[in-house]
A and B are shown apart, each in its own frame.
Chain A
Amino acid sequence: MNKTVLDLWVGLFVIAGIAALLFLALKVGSMSAVNTSDSYEVVARFENIGGLKPRAPVKSAGVVVGRVADIRFDNETYEAAVTLRLDKRYAFPKDTIAAIMTSGLLGEQYIGLEAGGDSAKLKDKDRILITQDAVVLENLIGHFLYGKAQEGAPQ
């Protein structure tokens, strides 16, 4: 076979392969929705995080504004310390509420941020003070049954 034809085919093959890799990186996986360089971290403490996992989205008003960077157990307060990595473009007031929510009935868990009214903004390494734990289905059913039993009990 002619050498130039052969080179041409191999060149096309390599270009197609790299194009496929780029397609996978950019279209299939979001290469970097939140970049490490232009982001800041805040810590939120929860008594129960349910099934929250690292890399879960952090949403505000339904828009993804960051990701969960790290989840740790604090052995002094017996709470979960969740580090949130937020996009620098979005600033939140100091009294923002962090709540663990579930998308859909059986969907993945994420952290919802509800902005407060404070004029001071959250900075890097700040702490979100007001948090709302994950809803644990077993506890909910327990409360419900307990309430029902109370209702039916003779006074």
Chain B
Amino acid sequence: MLKRSIENLGNRTIQGVWRIGFAARFFLTMLLHSGTAFRRFGLTVREMYFTGVLSLIIILVSGLFVGMVLGLQGYETLQTYGSEEALGVLVALSLVRELGPVVAALLFASRAGSAITAEIGLMKATEQLSAMEMMAVDPIARVVAPRFWAGVISMPLLAALFSAMGIFGGYLVGVQLIGVDEGSFWSQMQSAVDFEQDILNGVIKSVVFGVAITTIALFEGYDAPPTAEGVSGATTRTVVTSSLAVLALDFVLTAFMFRGIN
């Protein structure tokens, strides 16, 4: 009984290490074969349509509503201290530093990451990837790398759109609906938000999230068992793993970026 459970533990550890090693090798191969993604940029553009453009609606609408809710809730709290004018600072800083990159990344993982996994998993299940190899076309270079770079390019753009839309939502509710003074809303925001510390760090965060999400999605799809059940399991794992990875990476990045700021 005890021997069996120790054997189980050992087996799981070996499996886990093997999987991590496979993922690392997959990531490296993908980077090495990225040349095609740039030489034939049309492939990457095509994937940017599916990952970026088709995610626009959910990103824009969520951004607008998150900003509007921030405006309402922030006003309620700030009103108690008589500093409603700081609403712009609150909305802008929370969106640019945290909510923009993180919520956009979570939406991106569920909207685009799952689609990537399902597509590649199904390509593998229907032996399209093997067919490519038979024709001496490298599936990593032809299928995987363009999707990777499309995701990495799309993610910061989506996060910036999310933040901009959220600030517009906060402006709509704060200034137009509640009646916070427009001048101090923008000017306090401008004096509090720093380009390097806040906006650039937000962009760096979203690039890191883009790399993490697309890598996980592509790996899960490539590694999925070639069955209907395998593909569905891989899709679920993509969303769960990449969401958790985004949250964990966000904590680490925030600890490094904003530790010195008072």
Contact = CB atoms under 8 A, between A and B. Distances in A.
Contacts of B109: none
A23 interface: yes
Given A6-B49, A24-B164, A17 B193 contact: no
Q: Chain B: interface secondary structure?
A: helix
Nearest to B55: A13
Nearest to A24: B199
Contacts of A21: 156-157, 160, 199, 203
Contacts of A6: 45-46, 49
Contacts, number: 83
Chain A at the B interface: SS class: helix
Interface residues of A, number: 30
Nearest to B157: A17
A9 B262 CA distance: 42
Interface in A3-21: 3, 6-7, 9-10, 12-14, 16-18, 20-21
B74 to A, nearest CB: 15
Contacts of A27: 186, 190
A90 to B, nearest CB: 18
A25 B160 CA distance: 10
B48 A25 contact: no
A7 B45 contact: yes
Given A9-B53, A13-B53, A53-B262, A28 B193 contact: yes
Categorize the interface residue count of chain B.
Answer: 20 to 34
A33 B193 CA distance: 11
Contacts of A20: 157, 160-161, 163-165
A32 interface: yes
Interface in A52-75: 53, 55, 57, 64
A150 interface: no
B53 A25 contact: no
B133 interface: no
A154 interface: no
A123 B157 CA distance: 44
Interface in B120-172: 154, 156-158, 160-161, 163-165, 167
A143 to B, nearest CB: 27
A25 B199 contact: yes
Contacts of A28: 92, 96, 164, 167, 189-190, 193, 199
A17 B194 contact: no
B52 A13 contact: yes
Given A21-B203, A24-B163, A28-B167, 11 more contacts: A6-B49, A7-B45, A12-B53, A16-B157, A17-B156, A17-B160, A20-B157, A21-B160, A24-B167, A25-B195, A33-B191
Interface of B: 42, 45-46, 48-49, 52-53, 56, 81, 83, 92, 96, 154, 156-158, 160-161, 163-165, 167, 186, 189-191, 193-195, 198-199, 203, 262
